[in-house]
Structure 1
Amino acid sequence: MRLIIAEKPSLARAIADALPGPVAREEGSLRVGDTQVSWCLGHLLEQATPDAYDPRYKQWRLDHLPIVPERWMLTPRHNARGQIKVLRSLLKQADSVIHAGDPDREGQLLVQEVIDYLGWRGPIARLLISDLNRPAVQRALERVEDNQAYQTLYHAAEARSRADWLYGINLSRAWTLTGRQAGHDGVFSVGRVQTPVLGLVARRDREIADFVPRPFHVLWADFQVEHGKVRAWWQPDDSQPLDDQGRLLKREPADELASRLPGAIGNVTALDAQKKRQAAPLPYSLSALQVDAARRYKLSAKTVLDTCQALYERHRLITYPRSDCRYLPQGHLAEARRTLEGACHGDDQLAGWLGGADFSLRSKAWNDKQVGAHHALAPTGARPDFSRLSATEANVFRLVVRNVLAQFYPHLEAREVKADFAVLDERFRAQGREILVPGWKPLFTTRDEAPPLPPLRQGEAARVVGHAVENKQTRAPEPFTDASLIKAMMNIARYVEDDAVKRTLRDTDGLGTEATRAGTIETLLDRGFIVRQSSALRATRTGQALIAALPEAATRPERTALWEQRLRAIAEGTDQAAPFLDALLGDLRTLLASADAGRMRQALSSAKGFEAPTRPKARKAGRSGTKGFSTKRRATKRTRSKHKEEA
């Protein structure tokens, strides 16, 4: 008997439907001829709690730390024992096993760890599926590989799991216990991703709270030229009182110049006109989609993730969504017209966009060299039934289709003009943009562009026909939203202060992964460290206190971003898990040595932040072992679906 183990039931059903022959339902599996297709429910196993290694760890004590297992153990998750029993029975009957986890690091781990846990010692094949429609699954079944080729991916995921356990268990116990000494009755959970993300929010909130607005002033003048009117802004030189961004800090110089402007004659002294071509935005990665959907539809990152999962699993309209890639395989190009015609069926907006597509064009999106374990989100070509889609599902689906359709539109071409005017020995500047070829732009916005400058000639006369001095104020930074926080997590190098680390981090190295960023935000909300105020994400007093009490290194993104680099190197076979974990233990001991009740007491007394919503009182740490707090979340419906990587 051949046994195929999928990551979840929806994938198992898709595989069974793609096999030849009738499908028979059995307990915990589907039978098609001599093939049994069974499944996990996300992670069936989790890292054992500390007291599984030693009963004395049931009580939380500082002198126990750091807790470091000599031999790692896994235990079944809550409500997973039934499916583990099914898989154990099927493995005993199997002649061959196929691993059909999702095509990513965690998908590799969660199926393989179950196979290993249940004692299978035979060879394992690997089935990679990113599109649940029958033809795509059938093609994947014809390309089954040796699972041995994916062992470095497994080692990276296993190292990630163990590192998160070490980091979360030890630091959470340390700072919860020092919090108790300082009078705080609750759990301070610390994680290698969630805590730096909380640090981003807390520091931004402090910047907003500490911000003192400063007035500045602008002077504009309207110039009458041969072919129309141009508004230009005064460019004061360094002899004027300017801030570091060139803004005028005192109004008097502007008023003095303004008093001499009426009717003054000047001329165009410099003219710079450039024609620019801009390619369409690439197809979406999950995080890029979360950013755009949050901005356009005010959707939370978790809502976008859940919607994508529904479009992938239930409706089978899009490809595998948890992708960090924005490119598509070159082989998909030949099928693009058929795929997009199917995706656009039944929707006037999509059909209109399809009508403008030119399938003779080829964008840079089709690039095998840029495609790794996943490719960008794309429609599968299945015809959507919009009556069965929620409004959110329909909106997110249109975004995914739109960004692929845009690859078959011409470049946006525009003429950008900068013009300098000299009058009364002072310089004024105007800028304008004229759209020459709209290309893909109408798919993304219906807003009118600012009017272009009228035709200008260098040296032509310009007479002042209007002017004004305006008082303005510097503005505080905006609080984070789902969109801006996801974007910050994607581009974390911007928030890194160490120049050497900043140079080391590639643009693709972020905080967390595509699969975990939405869950990290939800974790911080659930644990009362941040709150949502309309679309803004703000740190609570508890969140601010934790960031103030921790060593700065634990609250900043450098360490975890470099962790991700090491994990990627392990996945690519250029690094090993053991040195990575050894380095982590060295860092962990240094961090634990800085746990200090006095610093915690000061942080709690001085913390300012937003009030978290009232929640059930947390169980006191240490009274019942780690059941009061665990770095692993309980196996709720959400975690079973796929909140797999710990924050």
Structure 2
Amino acid sequence: MRLIIAEKPSLARAIADALPGSPKREDGAIVVGDTLVTWCLGHLLEQAPPDAYDPAYKQWRLDHLPILPQQWKLIPRPKARGQLAVIRRLLKQASLVVHAGDPDREGQLLVQEVIHHLGWKGPVLRLLVSDLNRPAVSKALEHLEDNTRYQPLYRAAEARSRADWLYGINLSRAWTLVGRQAGHDGVLSVGRVQTPVLGLVVRRDAEIAAFQPRPFYVLWVDLAVEHGQLRAWWQPGEHHSLDDQGRLLTRAPAEDLVARLPGAKGKLARLETHHKRQAAPLPYSLSALQVDAARRYKLSAKAVLDACQSLYERHKLITYPRSDCRYLPETHFALAQKTLKNACGSDDSLAQWLAGADFTRRSKAWNDSKVGAHHALAPTGTQADMSRLSNTEANVFRLIVRNVLAQFYPMLSFREIKAEFDIAGEIFRAQGREILEPGWKPLFTTRDEALPLPPLHEGEPATVIDQAVEDRETRPPEPFTDASLIKAMMNIARYVEDPEVKRTLRDTDGLGTEATRAGIIETLITRGYLVRQQNALRASRTGHALIKALPEAASRPERTALWEQRLTAIAEQETAPAPFLDSLITDLRELLATADASRMHDAFGSAQGVEVPTRAKLQTKGRRNSGARRSSNGKSATRRRRSNKEPS
């Protein structure tokens, strides 16, 4: 009997439907001929808590740290025991096991740790499914591989799980305990990804708070030229008082010049024209989609991920969504016309875009050498019924389809023009853009950001018909939003100061993964470290204090991004897990030595940040909204806050 263990029920159903025969449901499984299909519910197992290694660790004490398990233990997650028992029973009937976790590092860990935990010693094959539609699943079932090929991926995932436990348990206990000594009542959670993300927001908030606006001045002229009018801007020379961006810091020179400009004549001294072509944006990775959806529809990263999961699992309209890739397999090209026709049929905008697509075109998006475990998000070819989708699902689906459709449109072709005028012995610059072929651009926007200039030729005369000096002010950095924070996590090298590390990190996947970035933001909000203010993400007072109290190395992105690089090296068999974990333990000891109650006290004393509504305020608000309502558990807020529950 063959037993297929899927990562989740939706995948199990898709596999059962693709097998020859009539599926029959039984407790916790589906039977199809001589094949049993069962499933996990996400992670069925989790790292055991510290007191599973020593009962003394149930009490949080600084002299226990660092806690370093010698033999690692996994325990069933709450509510997972029933399904674990089902898999245990089915394994007794099996002669062959097929691992059908998602095709990524966590998917490899999730199913394989269950197989190992339940003591299976027989053969294991690997099934890789990235598209839940029957043809795709049937094809995957025809190409099963030996699971041993994916052992390096499993070892990397296991090392990641253990490293996160070591880092989170030890540092969270240490800073919670010194926080209590400093008068803070509650758990202070520290994580190898969440804390550097919080650090990004705290530092941005600090830049905004410390920002001192500086005035600067610009001078413009409206010029009459042979074939129309245009506006040009004065380019003050280095002999004037300028900042590092070339902005004029004193008004007097601009006022002196503007007094001489009315009716002044000059000529076009220099004209540069560049013909440029721009390819369509590639199909989406999850993070790229989250960035665009946040900007266009003000959706949180989690809302986009949830919509994608629904489109993938429930509606079967898109391929596997938690992908970091923006390329498609070359085999998808031949099927694209049919796939996109089914995707676009019930939506007016998509149908209009489909009508303009030329399926003889082939962009660089189809490239097997760029596709790893996943490919870019794409429609599956299932007939789309937009009336069955929520508004968010429909908007996200349109974006995914649009970016694939855009691959069948011509390149955007335009002429970029830069003109320099000599007026009253000073340089005035104008620039514009002329669209020659809109190509894919109308699928993304109905307007062009740059205005065209009238026809120009070098040496032609120009006359000033209007002029003015404008007072302006430098502006502070924008607070992070879901879109900009996700983008920062993707391009984390921009926030690294060390040149060597910066060069190294340009080739990594950034901070967090496609699957975790939305969850990291939501976790920081849930724990009271971040607050959403309309579309902005701001750090709370507790968030500011935690970052101030931690050593800088724990709150900056270098460490965790380099972790990802070392985990990738383990997955690619370039190194073993043991040196990585040994190095981490050395770092932990150094970090723990810096835990200091007085520093924590000072951090809370000086911390600024957004106020997070207290539990008492939320309960008062709840009583106002729904009448007198007592807490169901009867515990006081203080007692709940003092819980020693480990952060997850």
TM range (shorter): over 0.9
Q: What do residues 36-66 of structure 1 show as CA deviations (whole Å, max 9, x unaligned)? A: 1000000000000000000000000000000
Q: Call closer, same or farther: CA 1:619–1:343 in 2, change over 3 Å.
A: farther
Contact 2:219 2:469 in 1 (8 A): yes
Q: Call closer, same or farther: CA 1:618–1:199 in 2, change over 3 Å.
A: farther
Contact 2:342 2:381 in 1 (8 A): yes
Aligned to 1:176: 176
> What is the deviation of 1:331?
1.0
Aligned to 2:628: none
> What is the deviation of 1:449?
4.3
**3-state secondary structure, aligned to 1:3:** strand
Aligned to 1:458: 458
Distance 1:495 1:268 in 2: 42
**3-state secondary structure, aligned to 1:339:** helix
Amino acid at match of 1:13: R
Superposed counterparts of 1:472-487, under 5 Å? 472-487=472-487
Aligned to 1:28: 28
> What is the deviation of 1:23?
1.1
Aligned to 2:124: 124
Aligned to 1:631: 647
> What is the deviation of 1:123?
1.2
Q: What do residues 559-592 of structure 1 show as CA deviations (whole Å, max 9, x unaligned)? A: 0000011111111111211111111111111100
Q: Call closer, same or farther: CA 1:618–1:271 in 2, change over 3 Å.
A: farther
Aligned to 2:593: 593
Out of 442-451 and 66-75, give the one that drifted further.
442-451
Superposed counterparts of 1:376-391, under 5 Å? 376-391=376-391
Distance 2:508 2:389 in 1: 33
Distance 2:88 2:615 in 1: 40
Aligned to 2:53: 53
**3-state secondary structure, aligned to 1:68:** coil
Q: What do residues 292-321 of structure 1 show as CA deviations (whole Å, max 9, x unaligned)? A: 000000000000000000000000000000
> What is the deviation of 1:447?
2.2
Contact 1:29 1:38 in 2 (8 A): yes
* Matched residues, number: 628
Amino acid at match of 1:557: P
CA RMSD of aligned residues (A): 1.1
Aligned to 1:328: 328
Q: What do residues 391-433 of structure 1 show as CA deviations (whole Å, max 9, x unaligned)? A: 1101100000000000000100000000000111110100000
Superposed counterparts of 1:303-342, under 5 Å? 303-342=303-342
Contact 2:131 2:137 in 1 (8 A): yes
Q: What do residues 243-282 of structure 1 show as CA deviations (whole Å, max 9, x unaligned)? A: 1111011111101100000011111111110000000000
Superposed counterparts of 1:601-612, under 5 Å? 601-612=601-612
Aligned to 1:192: 192
Contact 2:175 2:595 in 1 (8 A): yes
Q: Call closer, same or farther: CA 1:310–1:107 in 2, change over 3 Å.
A: same
Distance 1:277 1:345 in 2: 31
Contact 2:566 2:580 in 1 (8 A): yes
Superposed counterparts of 1:80-99, under 5 Å? 80-99=80-99
Aligned to 1:491: 491
**3-state secondary structure, aligned to 2:453:** coil
Distance 1:453 1:447 in 2: 16
Distance 2:449 2:408 in 1: 23
**3-state secondary structure, aligned to 2:25:** strand
Distance 1:30 1:589 in 2: 49
**3-state secondary structure, aligned to 2:415:** strand
Deviant stretches of 4+, over 3 Å: 615-621
By relative contact order (CA 8 Å, sep 6+), the higher-ranking structure is: 1
Contact 2:508 2:564 in 1 (8 A): no
Distance 1:88 1:384 in 2: 39
Contact 1:187 1:620 in 2 (8 A): no
Aligned to 2:571: 571
Aligned to 1:267: 267
Does residue 133 of structure 1 match 2:133?
Answer: yes
**3-state secondary structure, aligned to 2:92:** helix
Amino acid at match of 1:104: D
**3-state secondary structure, aligned to 1:609:** coil
> What is the deviation of 1:619?
5.2
Distance 2:499 2:216 in 1: 32
Distance 1:167 1:250 in 2: 52
Amino acid at match of 1:528: G
Amino acid at match of 1:558: E
Out of 506-515 and 165-174, give the one that drifted further.
506-515
Amino acid at match of 2:598: G
Amino acid at match of 1:247: R
Amino acid at match of 2:538: R
**3-state secondary structure, aligned to 1:343:** helix
Contact 2:491 2:506 in 1 (8 A): no
Q: Call closer, same or farther: CA 1:620–1:392 in 2, change over 3 Å.
A: closer
Q: Call closer, same or farther: CA 1:620–1:182 in 2, change over 3 Å.
A: farther
> What is the deviation of 1:508?
4.0
Contact 2:217 2:250 in 1 (8 A): yes
Amino acid at match of 2:491: N
Aligned to 2:431: 431
Distance 1:412 1:613 in 2: 49
Distance 1:630 1:138 in 2: 43
Superposed counterparts of 1:340-489, under 5 Å? 340-489=340-489
> What is the deviation of 1:618?
6.8
> What is the deviation of 1:195?
0.1
Distance 1:302 1:546 in 2: 24
Distance 1:292 1:406 in 2: 15
Aligned to 1:8: 8
Distance 1:615 1:100 in 2: 43
Aligned to 2:613: 613
Q: Call closer, same or farther: CA 1:619–1:284 in 2, change over 3 Å.
A: farther
Contact 1:6 1:39 in 2 (8 A): yes
Q: Call closer, same or farther: CA 1:449–1:243 in 2, change over 3 Å.
A: closer
Q: What do residues 110-168 of structure 1 show as CA deviations (whole Å, max 9, x unaligned)? A: 00000000000011000000100111111110011110110111001000000000000
Aligned to 1:292: 292
Contact 2:281 2:403 in 1 (8 A): yes
Segments of structure 1 that go 5 or more residues without pairing to the other structure are: 633-647
Contact 1:12 1:38 in 2 (8 A): yes
Distance 1:173 1:492 in 2: 28
> What is the deviation of 1:385?
1.3
Distance 1:537 1:507 in 2: 27
Aligned to 2:153: 153
Distance 1:389 1:518 in 2: 22
> What is the deviation of 1:613?
2.5
State TM-score, norm by structure 1: 0.96
Contact 1:2 1:95 in 2 (8 A): yes
**3-state secondary structure, aligned to 2:103:** coil
Contact 1:620 1:628 in 2 (8 A): no
**3-state secondary structure, aligned to 1:519:** helix
Distance 2:519 2:176 in 1: 22
Contact 1:505 1:562 in 2 (8 A): yes
Q: What do residues 97-118 of structure 1 show as CA deviations (whole Å, max 9, x unaligned)? A: 0000000100000000000000
Out of 608-617 and 460-469, give the one that drifted further.
608-617
Distance 1:630 1:442 in 2: 51
Contact 2:508 2:565 in 1 (8 A): no
> What is the deviation of 1:470?
0.4
> What is the deviation of 1:540?
0.2
**3-state secondary structure, aligned to 1:169:** helix
Q: What do residues 209-230 of structure 1 show as CA deviations (whole Å, max 9, x unaligned)? A: 1111111110000111101111
Superposed counterparts of 1:485-564, under 5 Å? 485-564=485-564
State TM-score, norm by structure 2: 0.96
Amino acid at match of 1:613: P
**3-state secondary structure, aligned to 2:89:** helix
Amino acid at match of 2:588: L
Aligned to 1:114: 114
**3-state secondary structure, aligned to 1:93:** coil
Distance 1:123 1:618 in 2: 53
**3-state secondary structure, aligned to 1:103:** coil
Distance 1:394 1:156 in 2: 36
